[in-house]
Each structure stands twice: as structure tokens, then as C-alpha cells.
Amino acid sequence: MENITAIIVEDSRLARNELKELLKKHSQIELIAEAENVDKAYELINSKQPQVLFLDINMPEKNGFDLLEMLDNVPLTIFTTAYDEYAIKSFEYNAFDYLLKPINQTRFSKTIEKVIATIEKEATDEKPFELHRQIFIKEGENCWLIRISEIAVFEIVGNYTRVYFENNKPLIYKSLNQIETKLPEETFFRANRQQIINLNHVDKVIPWFNGKLKVTIKNSSQEIEVSRRQSYKFKDIFGF
């Protein structure tokens, strides 16, 4: 496997140097850039597309969560923080891992092992790469870092979009049309003007009125009506 590319985002030069020293013992991880603030990090991530992000939570002006909200595709993210309670709270929401400062070498090595195992698995997985990309969602005090494949439904709510995954349904500040252009077409289907569904999360398909269909979502009571026009497309996809 080729080297795994990484970027460090940390306002403290001392902390950046500490991470660089730790990384020297793990040749599989290639550090390609570092940034001391969110704006510089945003530019670097978009231009270099790293696989891994070592991200400080607390930074001046904009914090680590602000950066993740700015990104369309979030790299595999490892938070670094001096605040135990803050870090653990953030990781109740599906983030990959966190490291407490000062960073312990053994703990760091275990995290790197997890990184390598995860990326190797994704490299051999049969699903399209896009489904493994992550997005960061923040609503109030709650934060989630989730893979595209975990999302069952996107739904218009005014100028925003509601995202359904597991038992959660937070709002994000992007339009459904913006989101649709970035989704894998073979997996996500525009059921009607208001909703996009993940075909892998469809449980049942029910014939409905006037040639329409209704689908139910796995592990959910949610029912989605497919418009007549889209019902024809849906039938073509599944051959019925």
C-alpha cells in the first residue's frame, strides 16, 4: 500500500513539532503539510486532499469544528486536545479517534494502527470510494462525523436540508440541490422534489396511487413517496 497522506492543523508550534516527532516512527504516514489556523488548513485540505487530518479542537478565531463544517469532504480526522471532557463529548458522535495532550507514544501508535487498518479496508472494499467520504454536521451542541453511506435520507426544510441517519435528523445549512451534485448517482436517488434517498437503505417498495411508489426506510418508520416521473426511473433501476 502507498503511504497515507496527512496534514496537521494546530496553532501551537510546539504541539505541531511533537506530532511530527511521533510521526517519524511511523513511515506509513506521510506528512504533506501543516497549518496553524483554520483558513490556511481549509486551503491546504482542498488543494492536497489528505487522507488523514490531525486536528486541534481549540484554536483562536475559528476552531476545529468550524473547519470541519467548511469542508465538503472530510478526511479521516483525529482530534488532538488538552481538554479531556471536551474531546470525549465530541467523540460521542462517530468521530474516528482523539488524542489527549501531551500525547502518549503508545496511545499514538494504537491510533496509527487503526488508521492503517481502516484505510486498507476501504482500499479493498467493493463500494464506491465516494460512499466512504465523511461529512461533519453540527447542530447546537451536538456534532457528528459520519460517512455518506450511513445517511438514509436528505430532505428539504426551507432553505436548509435535514439529514436522516440512525435515530438522528439534524439540519445542515446547504440546499438539497447543492448536496445532490456531490452524491454518488448510483446510490442516491431523487425520490421527489423534497427528498433524496439512499437506495441501500430502502427496505420495502409499495405500489401507490397513479403509478407512484412508496418506499420504507430500513430500521425506521419513515415512508417516502416517489413521484410518478421518478417512479418510472426507479422501476428501470430495479427492473420491475
**125 and 198 share a domain?**
no
**192 and 120 share a domain?**
no
Report CA-CA distances (Å) from 166 to 73, 185, 224: 20, 22, 16
Q: Examine residue 135 and state whether it is found in any structural domain, yes or no.
A: no
Which pTM does this prediction carry? 0.63
Indicate the residue among 130, 159, 185 that finishes a domain: 130
Q: Examine residue 142 and state whether it is found in any structural domain, yes or no.
A: no
Indicate the residue among 78, 96, 130 that finishes a domain: 130
**124 and 13 share a domain?**
yes
Burial (CB count within 10 angstroms: exposed 0-12, middle 13-18, buried 19+), residue 149:
buried
Q: Are strands 52-56 and 76-81 parallel, antiparallel or unpaired?
A: parallel
**23 and 99 share a domain?**
yes
Q: Examine residue 90 and state whether it is found in any structural domain, yes or no.
A: yes
Three state DSSP letters for the chain: CCCEEEEEECCCHHHHHHHHHHHCCCCCEEEEEEECCHHHHHHHHHHHCCCEEEEECCCCCCCHHHHHHHCCCECEEEEEECCHHHHHHHCCCCCCEEEECCCCHHHHHHHHHHHHHHHHHHHHCCCCHHHHCEEEEEECCEEEEEEHHHCCEEEEECCEEEEEECCECCEECCCHHHHHCCCCCCCEEECCCCEEEEHHHEEEEEECHHHCEEEEECCCCCEEEECHHHHHHHHHHHCC
Give me the number of domains the chain comprises: 2
Q: Examine residue 137 and state whether it is found in any structural domain, yes or no.
A: no
The span from the CA of 4 to the CA of 28, in Å, is 6
Residue count of the chain, please give it: 240
Give the SS3 label for residue 79.
strand
**61 and 125 share a domain?**
yes
Q: Examine residue 87 and state whether it is found in any structural domain, yes or no.
A: yes
**25 and 104 share a domain?**
yes
CB of 231 within 8 A of CB of 213?
yes
Indicate the residue among 130, 162, 194 that finishes a domain: 130
The percent of residues above 90 in pLDDT, for the chain, comes to: 51
Domain of 226: which CATH number? 2.40.50.1020
Give the mean pLDDT of 24-46.
Answer: 96
**51 and 115 share a domain?**
yes
Bigger pLDDT: 42 or 84? 42
Task: Return the bridge partners of 174, or none.
Answer: none
**84 and 185 share a domain?**
no
Give the mean pLDDT of 187-197.
Answer: 94
Least confident of 51-55, 111-115, 138-142, 203-207: 138-142
Domain of 73: which CATH number? 3.40.50.2300
Instruction: Indicate the helix (H) or strand (E) that contains 147.
Output: strand 142-147
**126 and 161 share a domain?**
no
**22 and 116 share a domain?**
yes
**229 and 167 share a domain?**
yes
**84 and 178 share a domain?**
no
In this prediction, residue 105 has a pLDDT band, given cuts at 50, 70 and 90, of: very high
Q: Examine residue 136 and state whether it is found in any structural domain, yes or no.
A: no
Please report the pLDDT score of residue 158 as a whole number: 85
Owning domain of residue 196 = 151-238
Please report the pLDDT score of residue 127 as a whole number: 45
Give the mean pLDDT of 186-204.
Answer: 94
